[in-house]
Amino acid sequence: MSAPKRKFWQRLGVYLGLTLTAAIILFPLYIAFSTSLKTPSQVFVQPYQWVPDPVTWENYPRVFQLVPLGRFLWNSVVQSTMTTLGVLITSSLAAYAIVYINFPGRNLIFGLMLATMMVSGEVTIIPNYLTIHRLGWVDTFWGLSVPFMATGFGIFLLRQFFMQVPKELYEAATIDGASRLRYLLTILLPLSRPALGTLGVYTFLSTWNQYFWPLIVTNRTAMRTVQIGIAMLRDSEGDAWHSIMAGVTIVTVPAIVVFLLFQKQLIRGIVGGALKG
């Protein structure tokens, strides 16, 4: 075989391997989507129908009648937005003080904040549930989001970024008479957009995916988040997999769109979170 010909076959093999791997990874998502296009009888037919024929879109409007899916989506949007804003505000304020103000006990405070990264939510969930219960925050957005509005990771991430901003900028601004707060709001935060974006996207997605916490601090159907809502749909619909998979698709598509749009920020956040240890 001539050299260019061999190269062609080699390359074809490589792309076949890549495509096959991609197909295996996407397989469950394909199963979810294709099932959502089936009628009940197609779901229960044997052998398994790999390509739905005929295709029906009826499950999509129907699933909104089975459970308040729109409400679930809204709840998750509010919960994730509140948590993300909270994390951005508390982290930038705290990181600012740690980097720019030389106060006694600075290292101790920062060390304690870092230490919170070693305490996982499963360990604190019982007292936190009791706290939320006592505050009367069960079935509220406060209960869903306030406990996660400050994180050691967020403070750490922004501190690292703030430290890279030249100190001269701060000195120049304060000589010009800008107050500390004004410098933070008008100069430092606009400069920190990449870091804030990373932290924001990362926080939003991890809140969106929460399961254990929303499961225990919400009781009313109207306050359930999407993750719990989908599990509820599965419980209530039993074998109606065509409806359940329509719900799954509706919930997964926005997550994938966000992933595609913010891939860079997300990857930075995740790999940065690696330092969590």
Partner 1 sequence: MSDRAAASRQLAPPVEGERKRKSQWRSLLAASGYLAPAVILLGVFTFYPLFRSIYLSLFETDFMARPILFMGLEQYRELLSSPRFWESLRVTVLFTLYTVPVGIALAIPVALMGNMQIKGITFYRTIFISTIAVSTAIASVIWQWMFSPTVGVMNDILRTVGLDPIRWLQDPKWALISVAITTVWKDLGLNVLFLLAALQGVPDELYEAARIDGARGWTLFRSVTLPLISPTVFFLMVVGTMDAFRSFTQVHIMTQGGPLRSTSVLVYSIYRDAFINFRYGFASAQAVTLFLILIALTLIQFRIGERRVHYQ
Q: Which of residues 166-195 bind partner 1 (CB under 8 A)?
A: 180
Q: Is 266 a residue that touches partner 1 (CB under 8 A)? A: yes
Round to whole Å and give the CA distance between 200 and 85. 8
What single-letter amino acid sits at 94?
A: A
**Hey, which residues between 43 and 82 contact partner 1 (CB under 8 A)?**
43-48, 50
Round to whole Å and give the CA distance between 178 and 137. 40
Round to whole Å and give the CA distance between 117 and 130. 22
Which of these ranges, 61-69, 165-173, 191-199, 265-273, lies near partner 1 under the rule CB under 8 A? 265-273
Q: Is 16 a residue that touches partner 1 (CB under 8 A)? A: no
Among 6, 8, 12, 17, binds partner 1 (CB under 8 A): 17
Round to whole Å and give the CA distance between 183 and 179. 6
Tokens of 277: 């240890």
Q: Is 107 a residue that touches partner 1 (CB under 8 A)? A: no
Q: Is 138 a residue that touches partner 1 (CB under 8 A)? A: no
Q: Is 123 a residue that touches partner 1 (CB under 8 A)? A: yes
Round to whole Å and give the CA distance between 90 and 121. 19
H helices present in 37-68, as ranges: 40-43, 59-66
**Cβ(32)–Cβ(248) below 8 Å:** yes
Which of these ranges, 57-65, 122-130, 166-174, 187-195, lies near partner 1 under the rule CB under 8 A? 122-130
- DSSP 8-state class, residue 105: T
| Alpha carbons within 13 A on the beta-carbon side of 60 | 9
Q: Is 109 a residue that touches partner 1 (CB under 8 A)? A: yes
Q: Is 272 a residue that touches partner 1 (CB under 8 A)? A: no
**Cβ(34)–Cβ(50) below 8 Å:** yes
- Smaller CB separation from partner 1, 56 or 131: 131
Which of these ranges, 67-75, 77-85, 162-170, 256-264, lies near partner 1 under the rule CB under 8 A? 256-264
Backbone phi, psi, residue 102, to 5°: -90, 75
Round to whole Å and give the CA distance between 91 and 152. 8
- Taking residue 137's Cβ as centre, other Cβ atoms within 10 Å add up to 17
Q: In angstroms, what is the minimal distance from the CB of 83 to partner 1?
A: 11
Q: In angstroms, what is the minimal distance from the CB of 41 to partner 1?
A: 11
**Hey, which residues between 140 and 169 contact partner 1 (CB under 8 A)?**
146-150, 152, 155
**Hey, which residues between 194 and 253 contact partner 1 (CB under 8 A)?**
205, 208-209, 211-212, 215-216, 227-228, 230-231, 234, 241, 244-245, 248, 251-252
Which of these ranges, 66-74, 160-168, 185-193, 259-267, lies near partner 1 under the rule CB under 8 A? 259-267
- Smaller CB separation from partner 1, 8 or 44: 44
